[in-house]
Chains A and B, each alone.
Chain A
Amino acid sequence: MSRLREPLYYAALWLISLFFFAPIGWIVLSSFKTRSDILATPPKLFFAPSLDNYRALFAKSEIFGQIFNSVFLSLGAVIVAVLVSFLAAFCFSRLKPRGTDFLMFLLLSIRMLPGPAVILPVYLMYAAFGWKDNHLALLLFYAMFSIPFSVWILKGFLDGVSTRYDETGLVNGGSWFHVIFKVVLPQVRPGLIAAFIFNLIFVWNEYLFNFLIGGVKTQNIPYALMVGTYSEGGLNWTFISAMTSIYMVVPIAFIFAFQKYLLVGMTFGTVRGEV
């Protein structure tokens, strides 16, 4: 590319990125506005910024419990899911038991149904067993929802790791567990990270399941966002904008920090180096 065209090209790319970010920018901007500035016509681009919305946000004591639940449920569920998925993926990739393809397909079927269809029988089951509003029960359900994608992605990566590693490990006297966790696991790091991030984003933002099979003790931030839409004086724009702005910091930090792995991860193991 010629020297003149390059800056133009980069400027265009930046503009595209900013275009996609613009609505989010508007949310963040709104979070520093007073209520009447948010509702001003015409919309205000320049205004006296204020931190009042954030102060009001943290003045509600229940918010800390909700943040804790968001973090605990999403991290816990995804860690459990990635771990058990790795074992299953290793099995599918190396031992190729009969019916592997069918099982992989069945797993994916979990993700195919709309939320209410998935949660309807689970809700009735939880109601019958008394598991509603229980951290562990909700965490395991989220983990289960994160398994299919993780198995798929990790199997792809494991298929790309030569079996020679396993064999060398076993010949050198390592146990199977040694081989699985110490030899093979580090080889599929991009897959692990990609599975981790994608599922984290899902659980982090999940509302419906939390609303229906969670309860007072387990409510997360998306729940708070849904419930907090209305304030006593109309729609609660200050709460929504401030809460959303804070809540997206974590996943955005993740995609910034692990961008490389994310891209490699989505190749489903067909690429080993940089993308």
Chain B
Amino acid sequence: MSLATQTPGRRRLMDNPRARVLVLLAPVMMFFIVFNTIPTLWLLGLSFYKYSLTGGVPPEFIGFKNFVGIFNAKNAIWFDLSRTFTFVISGVAFQTLLGAALGFLFWGSRNMPGRRVALTLLFAPMVLTPVATGTFFRFIYDPTFGVLNYLIRAVVETGPIDFLGNPKLAFWAVLAVDCWMWTPFMTLMTLAALGSVPKAELEAAEIDRVPFLRRLTLVIWHHGKFIMMLGILLRTIDSFKTLDLIIPMTKGGPGQNTRLVALELNKQSFESFNMGWSSAYAVLLLLISIAMTSVFIYVLNLRRRKETEG
């Protein structure tokens, strides 16, 4: 019971509710201030400066010119954003649907022999190192040496398919890898969501012979929606940030076909070292992500509040 016998001073500190909050929150807040608040303010400040790390001249205040430049640029932010949102929406939708379907399939398999191994194999893609996955998928997709072309051409009569070189295919080929990596995550979330449905209610519904679809909406969705929405939220956030999978696969090419916002920002900040311009770009992305997340949180809270009221 060493922890039980604290020094009196410590004890008195923790007895004060306000001090208790401070003590408990202090470590996280310190992290937050040092690694988030200060850098974010720094970012915000820099976004009003013309500052190139390789220019050899000190930062110069230029007001909103960076922001104006971003919207007027030849390769305007809109192209990157529209590609990114296509990537996020189609990717997350696919992963959610397939992931949920697989989740339902695995739901009833408690007595399956080797279930734990099977699930481990299923979850394995999401623990792979994305840089290695990207590089290796380049090899799998390769029209000359790749195994995928070989398999396809064993079934269908076709010429070699250049997945990552063809502008019509490259974007979807990259997205397919993202889906391969993250569909299992949505399966995991679905299994968790299904697990949170009380068995008694399910059994009652079964005894009452409620049809499956109504059971789904009435019982399962009612209990599982919070977890599913959380899964979708996490996927949306992460998918918006996709970078290290694309760098080794296409580096944004062919042309600009797979240039998502994270990639453009990476190029401008850490290849071209336009720190001011990139800060402005990053501030815009921050606003977009906050807006996106707010919507999700609003939905989540709304549902939750209804739950507690009902």
Contacts and interface: CB of A to CB of B under 8 A. Distances in A.
* Chains A and B share a contact (CB less than 8 Å): yes
Interface in B118-152: 118-133, 135-137, 139-140, 144-147, 150
A222 B129 contact: yes
Contacts of A173: 4
Contact of B31 (A40, A121, A144, A204): A144
B188 interface: yes
A140 B188 CA distance: 29
B304 to A, nearest CB: 11
Interface bin, chain B: 35 or more
Interface residues of A, number: 101
A58 interface: no
Nearest to B21: A97
A147 B25 CA distance: 12
Interface string B231-275: 100100100110110011000000000000110011001100001
A120 B124 contact: no
A220 to B, nearest CB: 10
B253 to A, nearest CB: 16
Given A10-B109, A173-B4, A221-B129, A21 B42 contact: no
Contacts of A27: 132, 136
Nearest to A197: B127
A21 B24 contact: no
B295 to A, nearest CB: 12
What does DSSP make chain A's interface, helix, strand, loop or mixed?
Answer: helix
A125 B39 contact: yes
Interface in B6-34: 6, 10-11, 14-15, 17, 20-21, 24-25, 27-28, 31-32, 34
B27 A84 contact: yes
Nearest to A107: B32
Contacts of B133: 244
A105 interface: yes
B46 interface: yes
Interface stretch (B165-173, B200-208, B277-285): B277-285
Interface string A137-181: 000110110010101000000000000000000000111111001
Contacts of B122: 16-17, 20-21
Contacts of A10: 109, 112-113
B180 interface: yes
A265 B32 CA distance: 24
Contacts of A115: 241, 243-244, 262, 266
A95 B266 contact: no
A1 B112 CA distance: 13
Interface in A216-259: 221-222, 225-226, 229, 235, 237, 240-241, 243-244, 247-248, 251-252, 254-256, 259
Interface string B215-235: 000000001001100110010
A17 B119 contact: yes
Given A144-B36, A178-B4, A270-B226, A112 B290 contact: yes
A240 B130 CA distance: 12
A91 B11 contact: no
Interface string A38-59: 1111110000000000000000
A113 interface: yes
A136 interface: no
A109 B290 CA distance: 7
Given A24-B125, A116-B282, A122-B35, 8 more contacts: A84-B28, A105-B294, A107-B32, A120-B43, A120-B282, A144-B35, A175-B11, A251-B127
